[in-house]
Structure 1
Amino acid sequence: MSYYRPYRRTLVIDLFCAFLVAGIALVFPLGAGYITRTLLGHPGEGTLEQIVTVGAALLGLVALQIAANTYVDYQGHMMGTLIERDMRRDLFRHLQSQPFQFFDGQRTGQLMSRLTNDLFAIGELAHHGPEDLAIAVFKFAGVFLILLGINVKLTLLLFCFLPLMAVYALYFNRRLNAAMLGSKARIGDVNAQVEDSLAGIRVVQSFTGEAVEQGRFGRANDLFVESRREGYRSEAFFYQGMTAFTQLMTVAVLVFGGLAILRGELRLDALVTYLLCVGILIEPIGRFVNIARLLQEGLTGFERFLELMAVRPELEDAPGAVELEHVRGDIRFEHVSFQYPSGAGPVLRDINLHIKPGEFVALVGASGVGKSTLCALIPRFYDVTGGRILIDGVPVQDLRLHSLRRQIGVVQQEVYLFAGTVLENIRYGRPEASEAEVVEAARRAGAHDFILALPQGYHTDIGQRGVKLSGGQKQRLSVARVFLKDPPILIFDEATSALDNESERVVQDALERLARRRTTLVIAHRLSTVRNAGRIVVLTADGIAEEGTHDELLRAGGAYAALQNAGMELSSL
């Protein structure tokens, strides 16, 4: 109901127009009955004038009904669409507040399905639900009273059908609801399969895996078809059964009404009025059926909407959290441990590390010992499971999440660029930046020259995920983005490991310029990076094994020296 609040004025007018439409519909059979009685009963001198007057009044009511229906149809639909928009906005915002841990266990296609398909029917439900219910109840009650006034016995006979209709409707409604839920889950699987296959189309084609992907898609698609088959079967039984009941009601009125006329209990003109009222009675029953359909389509999507909205973000600002300002860049790990919820054991154990303001620290270690995880804990992409991390003496859990991440720049090995222009992607580091500031950031990142060589320069569209650029170009744009952000703390997560030697040299120079006078933590993989570091920290499965400069660690003859002596590339560490 909270989603109706911003549109309560539209809702009130919509319901008023709905009642108006229902009331006018009830007047028509009464007007027809009056004319029938006048013509067949006691025609006289003023009969023609009376018929014209009634006809004119009915025409006026038709015009009013059209005006009211137009408002309901247009403004009511817009209200439903706006409610759908608001729910989609809230769900998107809620998804963005979730930590990495949430997305680790989700498929993007399923989430997209909940944002689009699941909420589509809610707009129709939000509009037609209250309006159809109001019209149906008002018409049903009004027709019931009119029918009782014409013939009590015939009306009671008519209403004997209602309990049977209710039981029948509830049974198939329940089956329809289950089928709708299954169908929405299956279309989510289809979306997930499409998203997965198309996002990895280069891998698919390079391994000639088209047949494999078509098989996977076909299986997901067939499961969707089976879920729809059950839904359509239940829907067919539901609607056709309700249609049969309404037709039986009409037949009962004709048969028993005719018998009542023969027995002198009912006049012919009264039967005409009665049949017209039965036609109106069938219409609210049809609306009740439509409400049932909308409820199944809308509420199944709404249930899945609520299911996601009920997932509380595990990373939230603590009560009394403070802004992180005037950052010096002092980072301290105190007995830090971390374990993924689905992991077999701890990734990090009792880590104690102090990084001084402005210090350049390189982190090396074997694959899987938690180098990237250690760096991800600083901006709270994940929360520690033991110990604490402090920045400038304040635990990160006591800092406002937005302000914490605003002070940290991350350059990752796997660059993500958004569909759009070069300018838009660099400006992502600081959306309010001017074009001149974007150009300066690109110059400092060594990206300006290659950007100017693009067809439209900074306004060149780079395609989905930057597919029109090389790996080195994409990485330089990501560095430019961080230059523009200008954070006091930097994290380089194997930022040049996937580049060729020439691209690596350009990006490495840019990273070194960016790191000046900033606290920098680098996951190192090349000898040049390690030698330039003020301190090297060697991480193992048991924690920090040793730390020092390149020369100090070689002289110490420990784990770092053993790796060097074995001639292993740091990229394999």
Structure 2
Amino acid sequence: MSTNCAPAQERSAVRALLRLWPYVRPVRARLFTAAGVAIVASCLGLVIPLVLKWMVDGPVADGDPAGVWLGALYLLLLGFAEALLFGLRRWLVARPLSHVEAEMRADLYRHLQRLPVAFHDRWASGQLLSRGTTDLMLLRMFLAFPLTFLLVNGVTIVVGVVIMLQQEWTLGLVILGPALPLIVMCQAFEKRYARVARQAQDQVGDLTTVVEESVLGIRIIKGFGRHRSQARAFRELSATLRGTELRKARLLAAIWGVIVTLPEVAIGGVLVVGAVQVADGELSAGTLVAFLSTALALRWPVESIGFLLAMSQEAATATERYFEVMDAQPEESGRREPVPGGAPAAADGLRFHGVTFRYPDAPSGSPPVLDRVDLHIRPGESMALVGATGSGKTTLTALIPRLHEVTSGRITLDGVDIREMSREELRSKVAVAFEEPTLFSAGVGDNVLMGADDRAGLPELERALAVAQADFVYALPQGVDTQVGEQGLSLSGGQRQRLALARAVVGRPEFLVLDDPLSALDVHTEAAVEAALRRVLADTTALIVAHRPSTVLLADRVALLSGGRVTAVGTHHELLRTNAEYAHLMSGASLEDLPGEGEDER
């Protein structure tokens, strides 16, 4: 299920995270200010050991109680100022980072709407959902905490080391002893953790897909009693994710152990060497106290390196996953240059000129789904498209609104190549009703009016509902304002299909593409819809995928699609007399009186 990606070890985390800059740039002033405030607050903590040195070597050594109380006041004020500054940093980053997350999520959603159908065919929905939720949450957390504190803790460590070297350089060398092993260990940790973090985030996407499919397909699961097998599949994916998360935890525990142990050993060495120097009179007690206090103050910045690096790797992986989608090429929204020989001709209807189509991910050498299709639907004519399951009917209809692009050849509307039109212009001329109707979690009226421009209102809605014989909506609890629920599953299949048909005709399109639009209707409703639909078809140019003779009879002519090619065109009665394959298809349908079957082609 997981989408293929470049191996984690082949990418730079820094290069990946730099891609966030366009989103961060508008709020950079507040983020830089917050980082500056955090650096000042952290460095204030390093002043405390210097105050301790003054107290030990001064008031304590001299027996001056007033000086001790003054030093205690200084320490209290420094602590208060440090806490206040860290609180200010948190306030500074909260609002801008929420804005960054919201902008990235909005951009992702807009981009998904512009990506071609072929992209959505390849990607699991759970993978896309996890990128828009979990990954963006990780990025917001990274920008709020790890990014700032990688900088803050780095500056703090450098300043603290400089202070310690100035106090006593020999002890400074002792404390710096673990630096080289720590650097080597952190580099090894980064590479290994990056791979495991990517696996975990992809597995979250797979798990999200299973949950989504189980919720949407709950009727099938319950109907076939497959809840145990679905639960087993979910447990297996959960166990896989748990194992990956445990690998992450083990890696983090290992680096954390090293990061904590080595500095503690160094501090122990400083204590021994420093105590000897104090006993020999080479070092003041105040300097040793200040040195050790500074070293202890640097424990948190050093120990935090492990999980800051881990969170940075997860953020880098989340950034890669986000931009894997954002880098996908969207549909071209503008016009193409006119194709030679494609000069407009008034009222020429819908034409297919030698159209060949092969899916981009089809195996090399496999035959095309459509092969040199030539077809002309005259202006105002209705043509039925008939063929065996898998012959390419649904694919052919998807080419007209450019849900897929032709591999070769061209399609014209009134003599204009559809590739010369913007997609917005094309889809304002062409309306489509699919065999499997999709409804959204909105009101009935809102679902239908999606097929018209923003100026359409109640009259257009009522007309479309009448054409589709969808008067049942007026009996719903809130009429046309009734919420149909996710996927429209609160309605029957026939009701959903009638609403999809109403959506197709509400905008009075110039060209109408219907993919077996009546397959889920009972005989009486089908007859009523056909009667109303004939009046609509009289004013438009239509291509109708049909499986039953009753649907075929709506059309003026019929085209037979066989093996990806149009092999016969004529009236229903002509083809019954002259074409054995067509007669077989129609006789099988009429004998069994079956509703239209779903297409096997994609």
Instruction: Look up the equivalent residue of 1:293 and give its one-letter code.
Output: A
User: Which of 409, 422, 441 is the aligned partner of 1:387?
Assistant: 409
Which of these residues, 354, 359, 364, is aligned with residue 335 of structure 1?
A: 354
Give the C-alpha shift of residue 118 in structure 1.
Answer: 2.4
TM-superposed deviation, 1:168: 1.9
Are residue 467 (structure 1) and residue 467 (structure 2) matched?
no
Are the aligned partners of 1:554 and 1:561 in contact in 2 as well (CA < 8 Å)?
Answer: yes
Give the alignment of 1:178-193 within 5 angstroms.
178-193=195-210
Structure 2 residue 33 is matched with structure 1 residue 10: no
Change (3 A) 1:248 1:184: same
Match of 1:402 in 2: 424
Q: Is the 8 A contact 1:328 1:488 kept in 2?
A: no
SS of equivalent residue, structure 2 residue 386: strand
Once the two structures are TM-superposed, the CA of residue 232 in structure 1 deviates from its matched residue by 1.2
**Equivalent position of 1:26 in the other structure:** 46
Q: 2:162 aligns with which of 142, 145, 150?
A: 145
Provide Cα deviations, 1:145-186, integer angstroms capped at 9, x if missing partner.
110111100001110111111112222232222221111122
Alpha-carbon distance between aligned partners in 2 of 1:314 and 1:238, rounded to the nearest angstrom: 46
Deviating more after overlay: 9-18 vs 368-377 = 9-18
Partner amino acid, structure 2, of 1:518: T
* TM-score, scaled relative to structure 1: 0.91
Q: Give ranges in structure 1 of 5+ residues lacking alignment.
A: none
Task: Judge conservation of contact 2:114–2:331 (CA < 8 Å) in 1.
Answer: no
Tell me the CA shift for residue 428 of structure 1.
Answer: 2.5
Pair 1:78-2:95 in alignment? yes
**SS of aligned partner of 1:361:** strand
1:518 alignment counterpart: 540
Structure 2 residue aligned with 1:424: 446
Relative to structure 1, the CA distance from residue 338 to residue 295 in structure 2 (aligned partners, 3 Å threshold; closer, same or farther) is same
8 Å contact kept, 1:113–1:187:
yes
- Stretches of structure 2 that go unaligned for 5 or more consecutive residues are 1-20
Moved more, 106-115 or 356-365: 106-115
Query: Compared with structure 1, are the counterparts of its residues 446 and 54 closer, same or farther at alpha carbon in structure 2 (3 Å cutoff)?
Result: same
Instruction: State the Cα distance separating 1:385 from its structure 2 match.
Output: 1.1
Partner of 1:502: 524
Equivalent residue in structure 1 for 2:368, among 346, 356, 368: 346
SS in 1 for 2:110: helix
Distance change (3 Å), C-alpha of 1:131 and 1:438: farther
2:328 pairs with one of 299, 308, 311: 311
Task: Give the aligned residue type for 2:356.
Answer: S
Aligned pair in 2 of structure 1 residues 434, 62: CA closer, same or farther (>3 Å)? farther
Alpha-carbon contact 1:173-1:238 (below 8 Å) kept: no
When residues 554 and 173 of structure 1 are mapped into structure 2, their CA distance, relative to the original with a 3 A threshold, is: closer
Counterparts of 1:502 and 1:305, CA distance in 2: 50
Alpha-carbon deviation of 1:476?
2.1
Contact 1:437–1:484 (CA under 8 A) maintained in structure 2: no
Contact 1:472-1:503 within 8 A present in 2 as well? no
Matches within 5 A, 1:532-551: 532-541=554-563, 543-551=565-573
Residue identity opposite 1:232 in structure 2: A
Deviation at 1:527, TM superposition (A): 1.7
* Secondary structure of 1:4 counterpart: helix
CA distance in 2, matches of 1:434, 1:365: 36
1:128 equivalent in alignment to 2:128? no
- Once the two structures are TM-superposed, the CA of residue 462 in structure 1 deviates from its matched residue by 1.7
Q: Of the candidates 273, 276, 297, which is equivalent to residue 259 of structure 1? A: 276
Task: Answer whether contact 1:444 1:483 (CA < 8 A) is retained.
Answer: no
How far off its partner does 1:546 sit?
1.5
The SS at the match of 1:369 is coil
Quote how far apart the aligned CAs of 1:520 are.
0.8
The DSSP-based 3-state class of the residue aligned with 1:179 is helix
Q: Deviations over 1:185-215 (max 9, x none)?
A: 2222222222222222211222111222122
Q: Secondary structure at the match of 2:42?
A: helix
- The CA deviation at 1:411 is 0.8
User: Cα–Cα, structure 1 residues 445 and 245, in superposed 2: closer, same or farther, change >3 Å?
Assistant: farther
Greater mean alpha carbon deviation, residues 526-535 or residues 425-434:
425-434
Instruction: Tell me, in whole angstroms, the C-alpha distance in 2 between the residues paired with 1:227 and 1:532.
Output: 58
Alpha-carbon distance in structure 1 between the residues aligned to 2:93 and 2:266:
32
Code of the aligned partner of 1:364: V
Match of 1:220 in 2: 237
Q: Which amino acid aligns with 1:277?
A: T
Q: Distance in 2 between matches of 1:534 and 1:528?
A: 13
How far, CA to CA, are the matches of 1:509 and 1:244 in structure 2?
84
TM-score w.r.t. structure 2 length? 0.87
Contact 2:55–2:286, Cα closer than 8 Å, also in 1? no
Question: How many residue pairs end up in the alignment?
Answer: 568
Counterparts of 1:63 and 1:360 in 2: how far apart (Å)?
81
2:17 — aligned with what?
none
Mapped to 2, the partners of 1:155 and 1:557 lie a distance apart of 96
Distance 2:278 2:345 in 1: 94
Aligned-partner residue type, residue 16 of structure 1 = G
After TM superposition, the structure 1 stretch with the greater mean CA deviation from structure 2, 382-391 or 153-162, is 382-391
RMSD: 2.8
Of stretches 187-196 and 264-273 in structure 1, the one that deviates more from structure 2 is 187-196
**Deviation at residue 248 of structure 1 after TM alignment:** 1.9
3-state SS of the aligned residue for 1:354? strand
Structure 2 CA distance for partners of 1:399 and 1:36, relative to 1, 3 Å: same
- Distance of 2:126 and 2:584 partners within structure 1: 46
For residue 380 of structure 1, give the secondary structure of its aligned residue in structure 2.
coil
Q: What letter is aligned with 2:130?
A: S
> In structure 2, do the counterparts of structure 1 residues 40 and 532 end up closer, same or farther at CA, with 3 Å as the change threshold?
closer
Q: Is the 1:360–1:535 Cα contact (8 Å) retained in structure 2?
A: yes
SS in 2 for 1:547: strand
Q: Counterpart of 1:532 in 2: which secondary structure?
A: coil
- Give the equivalent residue in structure 2 for 1:451: 473
Give the counterpart of 1:235 among 252, 275, 283.
252
Aligned to 2:13: none
The corresponding residue for 1:363 is 385
> Partner amino acid for 2:427?
R
Distance 1:362 1:135, change over 3 A: same
Give the Cα–Cα distance (whole angstroms) in 2 for the partners of residues 119 and 565 of structure 1.
56
Q: Would you say the 8 A contact 2:178–2:266 is kept in 1?
A: yes
Give, in angstroms, the shift of residue 320 of structure 1. 5.7
Shift of 1:557: 5.0
User: Structure 1 residues 423, 251: CA separation in 2 closer, same or farther (over 3 Å shift)?
Assistant: farther
